[in-house]
Amino acid sequence: MNFVQPVRDPEVIREIKRYLREQSERDYMLFVTG
């Protein structure tokens, strides 16, 4: 079975949030609250 590691790098998290906010406010909010 494969294991998945969480994203721990704050810069990568900022990039993901920026991308999601540009694409969809709903997806951004789900990511932030998750």
Domain annotation covers residue 17: yes
Instruction: Tell the residue number behind the tokens 């906010």, with chain if given.
Output: 21
Q: What does pTM read for this prediction?
A: 0.77
Residue 23: the pLDDT is 96
Domain annotation covers residue 3: no
Cα within 13 Å of Cα(12), Cβ side? 4
Domain annotation covers residue 28: yes
Domain annotation covers residue 21: yes
Whether the predicted pLDDT of 1 surpasses 90: no
Domain annotation covers residue 23: yes
Residue 27: the pLDDT is 96
Print the domain residue range for 17.
9-33
Pull the structure tokens for residue 5.
């590691």
Q: What is the 3-state secondary structure (H, E, C) of the chain?
A: CCCCCCCCCHHHHHHHHHHHHHHCHHHHHHHHHC
Whether the predicted pLDDT of 3 surpasses 90: yes
Per residue in 9-34, pLDDT tens?
Answer: 999 999 999 999 999 999 999 999 98
Domain annotation covers residue 1: no
